[in-house]
Every structure is written in structure tokens, then in C-alpha cells.
């Protein structure tokens, strides 16, 4: 059984103070390997891959951690989980830096002032060092917005309000009093 958090924690623990740079190297080195992960597994493949990766890096400490990590994943036949690992490592690095990841869904494209004000408000309320915001356009929301901050979800959309009203009317049995 593959445990994404354990592997992400191990990568961060080993790379230590070089974690940010090692993560950048990891992402850069893995990008061309993604299409070949199904054929790259086992000790022999890991050894060959290590040689190729070393030829294409400058040999700094951070890249060394990334190369060893990729080779270990290859040897253990876990390279297929690299996207999950990269996402988890990035989240853990953001947490360490006090960066809060926020997903904003809106019915239509919003101007940058809306996003800046929303980020400022969230930062002020949560005390986060900074905000990393992903914006998604979801026309089915009809208007307003929905926020996801970690496991916390706020639905301030027109669709959400209509659904709440419908549920209340059905729950009340439609009676007037």
C-alpha cells in the first residue's frame, strides 16, 4: 500500500533546508518522465535513470535529493504516484511557509480587484502569511462565488441560495404557517 504522506514527509525531511529547491528540481526532472512511468520500474531501470538524470543536472545538493527520490520511486515501482506526491509535497511546503491555498469558483470571470480584495480579506481573517488563489469559472453557479479553503467550504453562489430556499420550502411542507 502506497502512503503519499509518508513519502512526502520523507522527501521533505531528507531535503531539509533545501526542500524548496529540491522540490523545484523534482518537478523539472519528473516532467519528461511522466509519459514513461509505466516502463520505468525496478533496480536496473533506476540505475539507468540515475545515470541519465545526473548527466542533465549541475550536481547541486537539492537536485541530488530529487534524483535519489525519483530513483527510489522507480526502484519501488511507485513512480506512477508522482503526481500525487508532487501535490502533497507542495501542500506541505505551503503549510510550512504559512501559505493558504484557496480555490474560488465564480459564475463569470471576475476582475483582479475582486480577487485582490478577497485574498486580502481571507489573509486578514485567517492570519495566513500569504494566499495562493486558484480561480475556476463555473457558469452553473449562476452568480456569486464559492470558496474552498482546505476542508472548509463557503457557498455564496446564487445556485446555492436557490437550493437552500428549495430545501427549506420542501422541508416546511410548503405550509404558510
In this prediction, residue 2 carries a pLDDT of: 84
Q: How far apart are CA 93 and CA 98, in angstroms?
A: 9
pLDDT at 46: 75
Write down the pLDDT at residue 177.
52
Half-sphere exposure for 158 (CA within 13 Å, toward CB) = 10
What is residue 104's predicted lDDT score, i.e. its pLDDT? 94
How high is the pLDDT of residue 39?
Answer: 60
How would you write the pLDDT of the chain (177 residues) with one tens digit per residue? 889 999 999 999 999 999 999 999 999 888 877 666 556 666 677 777 777 787 767 778 888 899 999 889 988 888 889 999 999 999 999 989 999 999 999 999 988 898 899 999 999 998 899 999 999 999 999 998 999 987 889 999 999 999 999 999 998 655 555
Does the pTM surpass 0.85? The reply is: no
Q: Are 70 and 62 in contact (CB under 8 A)?
A: no
Question: Which residue intervals of the chain are DSSP H helices?
Answer: 4-15, 19-30, 43-55, 61-75, 82-97, 112-126, 158-171
- Beta-carbon neighbour count of residue 67 at 10 Å? 22
* Separation of alpha carbons 29 and 54, rounded Å: 10
C-beta separation of 88 from 4 below 8 A: yes
Residue 7: what pLDDT?
95
Amino acid at each position: 500500500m502506497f502512503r503519499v504522506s509518508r513519502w512526502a514527509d520523507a522527501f521533505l525531511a531528507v531535503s531539509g533546508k533545501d526542500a524548496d529547491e529540491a522540490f523545484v528540481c523534482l518537478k523539472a526532472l519528473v516532467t519528461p518522465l511522466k509519459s514513461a512511468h509505466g516502463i520505468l520500474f525496478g533496480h536496473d531501470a533506476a540505475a539507468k535513470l540515475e545515470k541519465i538524470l545526473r548527466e542533465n543536472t549541475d550536481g547541486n545538493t537539492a537536485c541530488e535529493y530529487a534524483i535519489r527520490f525519483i530513483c527510489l520511486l522507480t526502484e519501488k515501482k511507485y513512480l506512477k504516484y508522482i503526481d500525487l506526491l508532487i501535490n502533497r509535497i507542495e501542500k506541505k511546503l505551503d503549510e510550512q511557509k504559512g501559505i493558504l491555498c484557496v480555490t474560488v469558483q465564480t459564475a463569470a470571470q471576475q476582475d483582479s480587484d475582486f480577487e485582490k480584495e478577497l485574498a486580502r480579506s481571507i489573509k486578514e481573517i485567517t492570519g495566513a502569511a500569504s494566499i495562493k488563489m486558484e480561480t475556476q469559472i463555473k457558469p452553473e453557479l449562476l452568480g456569486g462565488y464559492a470558496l474552498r479553503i482546505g476542508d472548509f467550504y463557503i457557498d455564496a453562489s446564487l445556485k446555492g441560495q436557490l437550493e437552500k430556499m428549495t430545501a427549506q420550502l420542501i422541508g416546511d411542507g410548503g405550509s404558510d404557517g
